[in-house]
Structure 1
């Protein structure tokens, strides 16, 4: 190429570049914000902080730092992964700690004894009336004494657990129950027997509240509670069988209570051993965990030396809880219906159906056998279906079969219907206890369950006592409208209870 032509081309290209060269744009003037009274105002977004977080370059020391507010996007991001919204407590299992399996067995044996005590009353009441020459109204004082024991125990259960620990509290409850059998085995005058039922109620209230809290806080709590309360049904099934067999063989009615005394002494030793060092194990597990809030919540469950004022304050908090109040009325109606049916259905069959006292006593065993099967077989179904819906179905079904017991004038058909009523009522307590525990904090659990148990036992006394008074005046058929009315109260209370809340780490 000609050098002159090349020089001309380079000169033209250079002039073109110089002609199109632009300088960097100047910074725009600050925009004046406009305020509109009808529009909500927001803080300006600091783009500098967003640019820094994107480019990951720190400002120079001489540059002024942009103020960081809590509303900044960068400040709102957590430094560590957040806990999932549905996170729940890590629950102990049946095998971890290894001693839990023996603790569950201890709870089952204690409930088994309660079933033996409660169910035998229906079969032994006719013989006690003959022995003491008393009527329905006077013998119903046994239920009142039992209820007073539960009610008196409610304010003290949590204090006993905190001051004595679970092992000693359970040992004390079994010692009270064993001592209460002294008037029974000696066939003492009837007032002494009624006082004995008071101490039985006090001891059973302590063991029931502690056992419910322990089982509900295990993994698969509904199944564990079903096993525990199913053991109550086993005792309820065997109690009338043994009692009826003894009196049919000519033995005095009080010989039955030698059996319950022996089991109470066994429970005294077994519960003391199985729950020994329970609080220390839970404290170690809480300290080993990574969540400090869980450790603090677990520590609140151990024995403490808090003042009595704080303990009574916890009880007042439990009384002010809607879950506790509705749950207490629910269990009041449930246990009232359960004990009324088991305690008076034999008298109904004898008076209204001309049943043989030596054979109809086994109908109560069928009722408690249904409760046992229901708690073992149907409680896991409630966990899968949902406790809230499942209880509705159970209570309505129990009311229908209770109507059949009332309207079908056939002892065999009534015996089958009574057994079905027990089958449907069986899972109600375990399912209800799980719903209560989900909606109570750790600090409220023992005191709240104590209140619920106390009201339940008072229902198990007031309803049978009322049935006895009305039966004395009108006839034993009053059992059925009373039971159906109690089922209606259960449905209303259950409607007001929340069922979907999961208790989170506190």
Structure 2
């Protein structure tokens, strides 16, 4: 959970810090579109990780790759903590994205391969929600201070704890050594095998839109409430409410997921979330919007671990890390593409575009989910 917590802290920081970023003396008079370059930088990092995760994992193994990813994340946080010139700040976000994507592939593949992997994945990703919940609590206070970038100094300290745990617990061992499973012989070009699997692409696009939806809400809802609803500086706590709901959903809705099954339950959650987005769109109430956003977080929470739990059933063991790495890295691009798109549209039409964009993304999720055949068994 420590890995998820640090990643969640990083993602949860962006929303409350958008306004101080745009007013910082190091980044004079930038608008939403320019601030959104942070999301594009993250996308570059995720895309780079998607291309190299499989060969690096085959070369170094789980333990060393996890430590490498964590180390890159710490370097990125240290750079951001100094509030450097804007181009350097953007590059640090790309470095952070690269490290996060590498670690995400490793930890998801490992936990998905454990007995009872489904509920353990919920716990793993609950750590992300808890980190993203706690982060805006600090960021909202720091956003009102000259040293707003110290939010990333806290993240760097958390990263040091994370990398220490990686070294002590996993001791640089491969996944096969940790789980006591045989190493499968090389069956040729793994990327070619992975990209031939239809479900890899379907799940990749589902996670792409899901992560984009998640980060767009967490990243832009504070600006939406301040600029359109007239909320004060405490609006940053609404971001915490969303991420807290996300964590709570991953911990408390496990029994609902098991009762209805992944296929039906995601449709149910999407339908309720869609109705609540219309509440945020048409009901001009800060309190009402805050409650609706928290409940949306609760409903969206189980999605990511549910999907990762399905991968263990759908893909062969020797390709599992590569498949998850591709899905996670491709999907994490959504945390860049859609928030950037939202920022670009907000720059031209105003932040009021946030809600119609979120509604469109929820509908797209439902459309993609309808085409994913969860009943398919993985090849032997």
TM-score by length of 2: 0.95
Once residues 359 and 349 of structure 2 are traced to their aligned partners in structure 1, the CA distance between those partners, rounded to angstroms, is: 17
| Pick aligned residue for 1:424 from 282, 288, 299 | 299
Once residues 307 and 92 of structure 2 are traced to their aligned partners in structure 1, the CA distance between those partners, rounded to angstroms, is: 29
Contact 2:61 2:175 in 1 (8 A): no
Counterpart check, 1:340 vs 2:212: no
Change (3 A) 1:197 1:280: closer
Counterpart check, 1:319 vs 2:195: yes
Q: Secondary structure at the match of 2:171?
A: coil
Q: Secondary structure at the match of 2:284?
A: coil
Shift of 1:270: 1.1
Once residues 130 and 328 of structure 2 are traced to their aligned partners in structure 1, the CA distance between those partners, rounded to angstroms, is: 20
Shift of 1:247: 3.1
Once residues 280 and 454 of structure 1 are traced to their aligned partners in structure 2, the CA distance between those partners, rounded to angstroms, is: 19
Contact 1:222 1:430 in 2 (8 A): yes
1:257 is aligned to 152
In structure 2, list runs of 5 or more residues that go unmatched. Answer: none
| Pick aligned residue for 2:243 from 334, 355, 368 | 368
2:82 is aligned to 186
Counterpart check, 1:210 vs 2:85: no
Equivalent runs, 1:11-410 vs 2, <5 Å: 108-131=1-24, 132-133=27-28, 134-248=30-144, 250-276=145-171, 278-279=173-174, 282=177, 285-286=180-181, 298-300=182-184, 310=188, 313-356=189-232, 358-410=233-285
Change (3 A) 1:281 1:156: closer
TM-score by length of 1: 0.72
Contact 1:342 1:367 in 2 (8 A): yes
Larger radius of gyration, structure 1 or 2? 1
More helix by share: 2
Contact 1:439 1:498 in 2 (8 A): no
Once residues 120 and 283 of structure 1 are traced to their aligned partners in structure 2, the CA distance between those partners, rounded to angstroms, is: 33
Once residues 283 and 258 of structure 1 are traced to their aligned partners in structure 2, the CA distance between those partners, rounded to angstroms, is: 32
Shift of 1:431: 1.0
1:85 is aligned to none
Once residues 133 and 95 of structure 2 are traced to their aligned partners in structure 1, the CA distance between those partners, rounded to angstroms, is: 23
Once residues 139 and 183 of structure 2 are traced to their aligned partners in structure 1, the CA distance between those partners, rounded to angstroms, is: 45
Once residues 79 and 237 of structure 2 are traced to their aligned partners in structure 1, the CA distance between those partners, rounded to angstroms, is: 26
Contact 1:337 1:486 in 2 (8 A): yes
Shift of 1:158: 1.9
Count of aligned residue pairs for this structure pair:
377
Once residues 239 and 122 of structure 2 are traced to their aligned partners in structure 1, the CA distance between those partners, rounded to angstroms, is: 21
2:288 is aligned to 413
Change (3 A) 1:284 1:327: closer
Higher relative contact order, chain-length normalized (CA < 8 Å, sep 6+): 2
In terms of mean alpha carbon deviation, does 379-388 or 480-489 score higher? 379-388
1:493 is aligned to 368
Once residues 290 and 305 of structure 2 are traced to their aligned partners in structure 1, the CA distance between those partners, rounded to angstroms, is: 25
